[in-house]
Amino acid sequence: LKHPEYELTIAEMLEHEQPQLMPMIAPFDGYVEETGRVSSTCLVSAARNHYSVPCELAGRLISKRFYPERIDVVFDDRVVASHG
Number of domains in the chain: 1
pLDDT at 74: 97
73 domain residue, yes or no: yes
64 domain residue, yes or no: yes
> Which residues span the domain enclosing 74?
26-83
CA atoms within 13 Å, Cβ hemisphere of 29: 5
* Order of strands across the sheet that contains 71-75: 32-37, 61-66, 71-75, 78-83
45 domain residue, yes or no: yes
> pLDDT category, 2, cuts 50, 70, 90?
confident
70 domain residue, yes or no: yes
Assess contact for 81 and 52: CB atoms under 8 A. Answer: yes
pLDDT above 90: residue 37: yes
DSSP 25-76: SS-----EEEEEE--TTSEEEETTEEEE--GGGTT-EEEEEE-SS-EEEEET
